[in-house]
């Protein structure tokens, strides 16, 4: 259903059904692999797939039950799971987060975190750069002091730390 | 009176200067975690767990480590009330019921009394639960010493059946969430047969899924995504507490002794049976509304409406540790994380812990008394400071929390793959929360999966595959029957009502 201001991006029913199907497929995968390993009684007790086999069956059954319920529930079809505005907001956080965790390996934890916090403050908070710079750099320096020096828990470092001789 | 002696020795352990310092550090960290969106007891403890690895290596270090972590838990329980009352934002699910009367009180300008009532009743709830733990846990542990694999498996079965029968939500979703947890726990090298299960040739899956990563992702990232969608306008009431208000509220509180006791009883029961703090807080709020003289005015700002859920939530959160230390079965996600900590430090939770590591167990129990006193002092004196944290704009605090989650996920195994997994679990957590799948069964199944499976295997190995081993004697049969009773509880109750209604 489309309300005045918010356009629905997906109905609850569509998402319920989608998730139920994924759950069922996941269960089928578990059953399949457990069967491959042997889900029967071996020479010296239950085989490796014995326990997961039944776990997989339970997953399939519950997925099917949720699927049937969602199909029969027409109220779900009208309900919005997420509006386009909400989805957009979530993606503006989720996409940078995915980018952030994937560049940690190249830039190191501290540089990546600085950039990530700076992006958030710039994009969501609309701060000026002279506020962004001290906060984002300050937080990362604080983390550096806490983890590397106080708790001596090393985090991945990148070219900047190498250049500064902090490895 | 053996317990009293053991407890006094425990106080001797817990009262060392280092442990006292850790108690205050833990409580302060815990309150901050409880106040911040996206960080709660379970993932807060999970993130800080790796920092205790080196601490636990030192002699007596495991006791210090568990004191630090359990005090973070107490702090988080206290912290949830602050955001509920001042900002109408429950920092933790179990403080939702606290908002019903807590926030109206704050709007009436009585934030100070609401906070004092919340903290004091939290403290009383926890105290009653700790007293119960002190006297009941040696009994339960002694009883459990006789347990073999079939008994242990039936205890696990009881735990999981209770989730399905008592949660009140959609049973299929509870089962789905739980079984996904079991399946994820099975991924990786099977310790009994040495075969690789469910890895499909991916080497990064060899070690399996660590529940700490799941907890950080599901509860941390998932919650940030959810908060973001709701939009964030923190409009808080001011958080002044002066000593006069505290004394006045304390004078008022004894009037609600019946509500306190009832709520504590509900909390203790729900904490041991793994229903958890959240349903306990709702149940006792509902009971108080029905049984109180001013029941009809609940929701408009009644101190009693704050006392009931807070007492129950804290009693449940505390007593969730009873099955954790005596049986190795955690009653809540946070207790599950603490249990994971014990395993990582090389301790075997369960009845033998009382025999082999009395210092550790009684030090922990003594620290529960002291940690809650420390918590009460800290929250009563420093509320404005903690409330100020929530005034930090979301666009700064959200990325910082995600960075903290990422650091936490990385430090568990020093692996980047875990950080990617954390983000994936975060998306899963967001979708599950929005669709009403409970997350706690998934986490508990992930923690207990291997042990449940091991006990199941050993049990049916002993009986040559005969499933009747779970009914082979009175003890295991009773546990299994109770589990089945709880599993089918909704049907039994409905049937009972039909019979009563017709006769």
Cross-chain residue pair A90–B50, CB shorter than 8 Å: no
Helix axes A129-144, A109-123, angle to 10 degrees: 150
CB-based contacts of B497: which residues, under 8 Å, 6+ apart?
A: none
For residue B237, the 8-state DSSP code is P
pLDDT at B410 over 50: yes
CB neighbours of B287 closer than 8 A, spacing ≥ 6?
Answer: B262, B263, B266, B308
Query: Which pLDDT value is given to residue A68?
Result: 92
Range name among B247-261, B272-286, B471-485 with the lowest pLDDT average: B272-286
The answer, yes or no, to whether residue B127 has pLDDT greater than 90, is yes
| A–B interface: beta-carbon pairs under 8 A | 161
ipTM above 0.95, yes or no: no
Burial environment of residue B163 by CB neighbours within 10 A (0 to 12, 13 to 18, 19 or more):
buried
Residue A3: per-residue pLDDT: 43
Tens digit of pLDDT for each residue in B161-201?
887 877 667 888 989 999 999 999 999 888 777 788 888 87
Would the pLDDT of B215 be above 70?
yes
Mutate to test the interface with B, among A14, A32, A38, A45 (most CBs of B within 10 A): A45
pLDDT at B237: 62
CA atoms lying within 13 Å on the CB side of residue B460: 19
Q: Any chain A CB within 8 A of the CB of B55?
A: no
Q: Which residues of B touch A47 (CB under 8 A)?
A: 193
- B281 or A143, which is more confident: A143
Enumerate the domain spans of chain A.
8-78, 84-164
Bridge partners, A108 (sequence order): A157
The predicted pLDDT at position B71 comes to: 92
Q: What is the mean pLDDT of residues B292-300?
A: 81
Contact A97 B398 (CB under 8 A): no
Instruction: Round the average pLDDT of chain B to a whole number and report it.
Output: 85
Does B294 contact A at CB distance below 8 Å? Answer: no
pLDDT in tens, A14-68: 889 999 999 999 999 999 988 888 877 777 777 888 889 999 999 999 999 999 9
A137 pLDDT tier (thresholds 50, 70, 90): very high
Mean pLDDT of A74-93: 81
Surface of B (158-187) touching A: CB under 8 A = 170, 172-173, 175-176, 179-180, 182-183, 186
Residue B455: list chain A partners with CB under 8 A. Answer: none
Q: A11-20, B38-47, B227-236, B462-471 — which is least confidently predicted? A: B227-236
Query: What pLDDT digit, counting tens, does each position of B372-406 carry?
Result: 999 999 988 888 888 787 778 888 888 998 999 99
Task: Give helix B416-435 / helix A12-37 axis angle, nearest 10°.
Answer: 130
pTM score of the predicted model: 0.85
Contact between B399 and A116 under an 8 Å Cβ cutoff? The reply is yes
- Tell whether A138 is within 8 A of chain B (Cβ): no
| pLDDT score, position B224 | 83
Contacts of B416 in chain A (CB under 8 A): 101, 104-105, 156
Look at A88 and B165; give whichever has higher pLDDT: A88
């Amino acid at each position: 259903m489309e309300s005045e201001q918010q356009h629905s991006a997906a109905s609850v029913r569509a998402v319920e059904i989608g998730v139920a199907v994924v759950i069922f497929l996941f269960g089928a995968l578990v059953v399949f692999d457990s069967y491959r390993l042997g889900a029967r009684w071996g020479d010296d007790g239950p085989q490796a797939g014995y326990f997961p086999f039944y776990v997989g069956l339970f997953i399939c059954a519950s997925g099917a039950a949720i699927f049937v319920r969602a199909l029969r529930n027409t109220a779900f079809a009208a309900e919005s799971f997420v509006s386009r505005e909400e989805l957009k907001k979530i993606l503006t956080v989720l996409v940078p987060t995915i980018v952030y965790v994937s560049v940690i390996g190249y830039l190191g934890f501290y540089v990546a975190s600085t950039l990530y916090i700076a992006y958030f403050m710039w994009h969501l908070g609309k701060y000026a750069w002279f506020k962004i710079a001290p906060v984002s750099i300050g937080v990362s320096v604080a983390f550096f002091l806490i983890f590397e020096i106080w708790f001596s828990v090393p985090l991945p470092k990148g070219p900047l730390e190498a250049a500064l001789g902090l490895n | 009176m053996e317990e009293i002696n053991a407890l006094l020795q425990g106080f001797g352990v817990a009262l060392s200067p280092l442990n006292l310092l850790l108690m205050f550090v833990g409580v302060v960290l815990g309150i901050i975690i409880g106040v911040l969106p996206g960080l709660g007891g379970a993932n807060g403890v999970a993130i800080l767990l790796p920092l205790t690895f080196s601490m636990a290596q030192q002699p007596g270090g495991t006791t210090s480590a568990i004191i630090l972590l359990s005090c973070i838990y107490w702090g988080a329980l206290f912290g949830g009330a602050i955001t509920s009352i001042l900002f109408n934002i429950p920092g933790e699910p179990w403080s939702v019921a606290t908002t019903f009367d807590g926030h109206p009180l704050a709007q009436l300008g009585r934030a100070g009394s609401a906070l004092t009532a919340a903290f004091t009743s939290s403290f009383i709830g926890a105290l009653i639960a700790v007293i119960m733990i002190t006297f009941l846990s040696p009994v339960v542990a002694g009883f459990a010493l006789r347990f073999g694999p079939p008994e242990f498996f039936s205890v696990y079965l009881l735990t999981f059946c209770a989730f399905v029968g008592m949660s009140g939500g959609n049973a299929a979703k509870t089962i789905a969430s739980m079984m996904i947890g079991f399946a994820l726990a099975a991924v990786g090298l099977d310790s009994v047969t040495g075969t690789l299960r469910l890895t499909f040739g991916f080497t990064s899956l060899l070690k399996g899924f660590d529940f700490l990563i799941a907890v950080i992702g599901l509860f941390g990232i998932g919650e940030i995504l959810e908060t973001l969608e709701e939009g964030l306008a923190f409009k808080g009431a001011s958080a002044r507490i002066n000593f006069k208000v505290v004394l006045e509220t304390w004078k008022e509180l004894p009037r609600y002794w019946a509500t306190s006791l009832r709520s504590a009883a509900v909390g203790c029961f729900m904490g041991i049976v793994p229903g958890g703090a959240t349903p306990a807080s709702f149940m006792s709020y509902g009971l108080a509304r029905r049984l109180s003289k001013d029941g009809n005015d609940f929701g408009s700002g009644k101190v009693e409406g704050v006392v009931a859920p807070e007492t129950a939530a804290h009693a449940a959160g505390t007593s969730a540790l009873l099955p954790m230390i005596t049986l190795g079965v955690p009653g809540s996600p946070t207790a599950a994380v603490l249990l994971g900590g014990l395993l990582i430090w090389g301790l075997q939770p369960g009845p033998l812990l009382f025999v082999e590591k009395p210092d550790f167990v009684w030090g922990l129990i003594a620290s529960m008394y002291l940690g809650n006193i420390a918590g009460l002092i800290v929250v009563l004196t420093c509320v404005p400071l903690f409330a100020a944290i929530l005034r930090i704009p979301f666009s700064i605090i959200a990325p910082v929390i995600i960075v903290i989650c990422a650091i936490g996920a990385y430090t568990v195994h020093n692996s980047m793959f875990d950080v990617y997994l954390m983000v994936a679990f975060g998306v899963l957590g967001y979708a599950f929360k929005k669709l009403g799948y409970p997350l706690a069964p998934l986490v508990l199944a992930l923690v207990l999966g291997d042990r449940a499976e091991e006990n199941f295997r050993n049990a049916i190995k002993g009986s040559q595959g005969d499933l009747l081993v779970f009914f082979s004697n009175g003890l295991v049969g009773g546990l299994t029957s109770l589990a089945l009773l709880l599993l089918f509880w909704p049907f039994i109750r409905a049937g009972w009502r039909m019979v009563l209604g017709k006769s």
